Chains A and B, each alone.
Chain A
Amino acid sequence: AQKVTQAQTEISVVEKEDVTLDCVYETRDTTYYLFWYKQPPSGELVFLIRRNSFDEQNEISGRYSWNFQKSTSSFNFTITASQVVDSAVYFCALDNQGGKLIFGQGTELSVKP
């Protein structure tokens, strides 16, 4: 079975703090993709990153960084020096069937000034 778990339902931080959003996945497939999406109150899912299962290199994009560890089936997302505009619900998702994304429950991040 395929499953994505985001154990943190809500996180609240003060601006400029670093915050890490956890994601653990389950799949028996050796080829798959992992995603992170941001969902602001408007509802649209905003793509942040896609990582394939063969690429465990960590990635940094500005204040965002991702740590992919196949050994622990985790794909964690860190925001450095958080800002109020980072407040949103963040979803981790798994794709191993070419189009069927399996989402976690989401983590609601609140960044206070």
Chain B
Amino acid sequence: ETGVTQSPTHLIKTRGQQVTLRCSSQSGHNTVSWYQQALGQGPQFIFQYYREEENGRGNFPPRFSGLQFPNYSSELNVNALELDDSALYLCASSLVGANGYTFGSGTRLTVV
């Protein structure tokens, strides 16, 4: 049983650019959630995808968007990057109806 895989592990972008982060969910899991973790803080919920549709969103602007694919993998896209977007982005997969979440190791994004 494979866990959650995220890519890339590290990324440096310039303010104003766009970025795409990727997540492969754990085998058998059909729901993916994304979290942003700023340095020294707890993770903050961005959004969740189930059956390729957004299924709940946290307090993040529309420039944060996502996709879920038929194989349940997911992408997080961030447009017009700001310095405050620098953070660890974590992906978690789960099976709807269950309450266990498996997290990936995250993508550390630095915006300069």
Report A's interface with B, CB cutoff 8 A: 4, 33, 35, 37, 42-47, 50, 52, 91, 93, 95, 97-106
| Interchain CA distance A35-B103 in the complex, whole Å | 13
Q: Does more than half of chain A's interface fall in helix, strand or loop, or is it mixed?
A: strand
Q: Which of B20-34 contact A (CB under 8 A)?
A: 31, 33
**Alpha-carbon distance A93/B35, docked complex (angstroms):** 13
B31 surroundings in chain A (CB, below 8 A): 99
List A contacts of B56 (CB < 8 A): 97, 99-100
Shortest CB–CB separation between residue B27 and chain A, in angstroms? 16
**Contact partners of A104 in chain B: CB under 8 A:** 42
Question: Does B99 contact A50, Cβ atoms closer than 8 Å?
Answer: yes
How distant is the Cα of A4 from the Cα of B41 in the complex, in angstroms? 12
Contact mask B97-112 → A, CB, 8 Å, 1/0? 0011111111010000
A50 touches B100 (CB 8 A): yes
Min CB distance B13 to A, Å, is 18
Query: Are A106 and B55 in touch, CB under 8 angstroms?
Result: no
6 contacts between A and B (CB under 8 A): A43-B108, A45-B90, A95-B99, A100-B45, A100-B58, A106-B41
A50 to B101, CA, bound (A): 10
How many residue pairs between the two chains, A and B, have CB atoms under 8 Å in the bound complex? 63
The interface size of chain B toward A, counting residues with CB under 8 Å, comes to 28
Which residues of B have CB within 8 Å of A103? 42-44
Closest chain-B Cβ to A104's Cβ sits at a distance in Å of 5
A43 with B45: in contact, given A50-B100, A100-B56 (CB under 8 Å)?
no
Q: Chain B residues near A105 (CB, 8 Å)?
A: 40-42
Residue of A nearest to B41 (CB): A105
Cβ B48 vs Cβ A100 within 8 A:
yes
Given contacts A43-B108, A45-B90, A101-B101, contact A91 B55 (CB under 8 A): no
